[in-house]
Amino acid sequence: MSKLKDLVEHIAKVLVDNPDAVQINEIEGEQTSVIELKVAKEDLGKIIGKEGRTAKAIRTILGAASSKLRKRVVLEIIE
């Protein structure tokens, strides 16, 4: 499991009410990785936040961490 995947998993588990329902899947490519985040339906609003602010903040942290690894990472929140 990559460090970025661990980072997203940790952030998501802290934000939601049902941390056992957090599922993370990573699809790695040569230049880009896609991290898919799935949470319980009732926790979806907590991950997205008002006007998407929480999701944007998670993506910002992920972008800063991935730039250090010289890799592009995309976060997809799956309903």
Structural domains in the chain plus CATH codes? 6-78 (3.30.300.20)
pLDDT tens, residue order, the chain (79 aa): 488 999 999 999 999 999 999 999 999 888 889 999 999 999 999 999 999 999 999 999 999 998 888 889 999 999 8
- Beta-carbon contacts of residue 23 (< 8 Å; ≥ 6 apart): 37, 38, 39
Threshold 0.85, pTM exceeds: yes
Three-state SS at 1: coil
